[in-house]
Amino acid sequence: MLTRHSRVRVPEPVVSRKVGDETVILSLESGMYYGLDPVGSRFIELLETGASLGSVIDRMSGEYAVSDEQLEADLLKLSEEMLANGLLETD
């Protein structure tokens, strides 16, 4: 189970492309893909800096009008789903 202290990253066989303010992320191995809204796009952008989930959540909490608890729950859930589908990996 992921926590705020976990580090996740986009693995090598996964590519992402911004399309407007959204991002499409695709596993070249499995063909699994996600379309991410602007919040999800920002999340992936910050993950690519190598920051921990907690650091990314803290950074995003100042950027979006949502409670810290809700943002954390949503981003941890998204991370778990993407991890289960091979679109993220843990360090």
Percent share of the chain, pLDDT over 90: 92
Query: What integer is the mean pLDDT of 56-74?
Result: 94
* Residue 1 predicted with pLDDT over 90: no
* Residue 45 predicted with pLDDT over 90: yes
Query: What integer is the mean pLDDT of 51-57?
Result: 94
Report the helix count and the strand count for the chain, using DSSP H and E. Answer: 3, 5
Q: What is the pLDDT of residue 72?
A: 95
- Whether residue 26 contacts residue 48, with contact meaning beta carbons closer than 8 Å, is answered with no
Domains and CATH numbers, the chain: 8-90 (3.90.930)
Per the prediction, the chain carries an average pLDDT of 93
Query: What integer is the mean pLDDT of 5-31?
Result: 93
